[in-house]
Structure 1
């Protein structure tokens, strides 16, 4: 049996007619940049999340950059964030001229540890940038409390977490702004790049809108140096089709995760499965497990046709690009240790019970 880490083809086959019709509609309409599909998708995302404003941009990285710029964060400023995430989170901070300040993570949720944030706050700190890693919410109650106390902005990196909830409140609605990615492998993914900034603040929304169009409110009249960062009309049309199925797909992921949890529970002394916050809805962008001898287990899974992936092999504070910040091995031990043990096994909505059973059987064989 061959099982991909993420299988995108099954989803397309299920939606082929709807997707093709949506694409054809755009091609026939003749409006390919910031047309009716983008406007409609922005409105639908805002309604889905329960926010006032949603602004489509070119990708999740740009969503982060434009959010930071919209809040006037730049040279001389510091932004507190997690070292355990995709590089774009910190990269965006650097791209606006600010400095990322890394805080170690919670060993269970893998998100930024809020109990360690305050000791890293200085007079230069302007924002906290938590990531909801793998679809699991950060502790937003504590983070918002700290931000309020110190008069800091909060930008949620929700690129992996669309549809996740805490006490019924959707991810992306806690901070001053939130960023989403529609990269093809995301829970709501297009067939190319795409991103979104959401906020309840009119000024932030207007700033992001101006920045995504070369710093222009009115065409050919430029108020500041901006970006060419617009969600593509074709991608918006595809994402509008998919948005209708997002909750169903997330529930399918949750069911698959619950099955993994149950099947792997007797290996708990060797394999650590994902932690679940009781009051939260974890939407399992990835299903990541921890164990010693990761490379050996991954190789044996590969020999049996099961794909895996390491998310992430190097914490951001130890990346070559950030040697200038002066971090050393041992500075953020929880993130560093996790990067040596964690890897993902197949997870996508359409994964079958037979496939999950097979993966569990193979893991049992390897470990026993």
Structure 2
């Protein structure tokens, strides 16, 4: 068999009545765009994060892009972030005309190495953009102090960390703004694309609402500042309202899957996930590491098990960003991780028998290396 890294069908079977009721509610409402479902989800999503505002948009990439624009980040500015991330983080920075500046990662957590950030600050630096990767939060205390001292904007990329917490604070509740993706694979996933930005800043929120709607606010026919068509779909918003109420259950289920992996793979020479001190891990991905990663993946394919690597190509090595001037070896921990990490199947409805199949095959491969 071919093992699925991610699958939603078992979850859909369990939640089908609720999902279809959500769709019917929107179709029967008489309002298919920017109606009560978007407004309701925004209120509930903001409440979950303890923020004053949530602004729904069409996808996670535009959540980052529009948030940067709303914060005043643009051409000539530099944004400090990491290269070990999904490309959309950096694509969004480029889309507003800013320049991404990369720092290396901590080799144990794969999160931004905070000790390198201050040295990367220049007179052009405008924004710090940490990525809460794989399901856990960067420690933002250091970045908050640094941002305040250098008068920088702090924005969180929370696309992989719905519900994760650090020192009691939920991901997205610390920076001036935080961007989320609701791509179907996410911890809180829609049945299609979607995204949102949360913020406590009234002006940033107002800017975002204009930017997602052509730049209009008071009238459909009056553009106050050029914007985009980046609205969250009403159907996806209603589905997300239902799923938001189950978010903590999804997180608990992922943590149970992770605990089974940790127990079953203890004693092997795989490097298993490390949880940040004072933090919780929601396991968007279960990322393991081995210096013979490629051999392991090749042998697992002989068992019919195909696994993913997130991410095999750091952004600074991609041809599309060659103009940034980074060379091989410039981010050694990032580059080494890209050669050694891989992800085991991880989703709340992962069948125990599938997990056991992966673990048994993996243990056999490791012994045979």
Scaled to the shorter chain, the TM-score interval is over 0.9
2:257 alignment partner in structure 1: 256
The alpha carbon displacement at 1:353 in A equals 3.0
**TM-score for both structures, normalised by structure 2:** 0.97
User: Could you report, residue by residue, the CA deviation over 1:18-65 in whole angstroms, capped at 9, with x for unpaired residues?
Assistant: 100110111111211110000000011011111110000000000001
1:59 alignment partner in structure 2: 59
Residues 79, 127 of structure 1: 8 Å contact kept:
yes
What is the 5 A alignment of 1:338-349?
338-349=337-348
User: Could you report, residue by residue, the CA deviation over 1:168-208 in whole angstroms, capped at 9, with x for unpaired residues?
Assistant: 21100010000000001111111111000000111110100
SS at structure 2 position matched to 1:366: helix
The alpha carbon displacement at 1:136 in A equals 1.3
What is the 5 A alignment of 1:207-226?
207-218=207-218, 219-226=220-227
1:336 alignment partner in structure 2: 335
The alpha carbon displacement at 1:298 in A equals 1.3
CA–CA distance in structure 2, aligned partners of residues 302 and 185 of structure 1: 22
CA–CA distance in structure 1, aligned partners of residues 23 and 150 of structure 2: 47
CA–CA distance in structure 1, aligned partners of residues 51 and 360 of structure 2: 44
CA–CA distance in structure 2, aligned partners of residues 49 and 317 of structure 1: 32
The alpha carbon displacement at 1:303 in A equals 2.5
2:286 alignment partner in structure 1: 287
SS at structure 2 position matched to 1:81: strand
CA–CA distance in structure 2, aligned partners of residues 109 and 278 of structure 1: 10
1:245 alignment partner in structure 2: 246
2:106 alignment partner in structure 1: 106
CA–CA distance in structure 1, aligned partners of residues 97 and 350 of structure 2: 42
1:19 alignment partner in structure 2: 19
CA–CA distance in structure 2, aligned partners of residues 142 and 301 of structure 1: 41
User: Could you report, residue by residue, the CA deviation over 1:56-87 in whole angstroms, capped at 9, with x for unpaired residues?
Assistant: 00000000011110011111110000010001
CA–CA distance in structure 2, aligned partners of residues 363 and 158 of structure 1: 30
The alpha carbon displacement at 1:10 in A equals 0.9
Residues 139, 166 of structure 2: 8 Å contact kept:
no
CA–CA distance in structure 2, aligned partners of residues 281 and 179 of structure 1: 19
Residues 307, 345 of structure 1: 8 Å contact kept:
no
The alpha carbon displacement at 1:350 in A equals 1.2
CA–CA distance in structure 1, aligned partners of residues 306 and 196 of structure 2: 30
User: Could you report, residue by residue, the CA deviation over 1:75-102 in whole angstroms, capped at 9, with x for unpaired residues?
Assistant: 1110000010001111111100010000
1:46 alignment partner in structure 2: 46
Residues 51, 200 of structure 1: 8 Å contact kept:
yes
The alpha carbon displacement at 1:2 in A equals 4.5
The alpha carbon displacement at 1:307 in A equals 3.0
Moved more, 350-359 or 157-166: 350-359
CA–CA distance in structure 2, aligned partners of residues 101 and 153 of structure 1: 15
User: Could you report, residue by residue, the CA deviation over 1:132-186 in whole angstroms, capped at 9, with x for unpaired residues?
Assistant: 0111111211111111111110110001111000122110001000000000111
CA–CA distance in structure 2, aligned partners of residues 328 and 273 of structure 1: 29
The alpha carbon displacement at 1:250 in A equals 0.5
Segments of 5+ residues of structure 1 without an aligned counterpart are: none
**TM-score for both structures, normalised by structure 1:** 0.97
Segments of 5+ residues of structure 2 without an aligned counterpart are: none
1:233 alignment partner in structure 2: 234
2:160 alignment partner in structure 1: 160
SS at structure 1 position matched to 2:92: helix
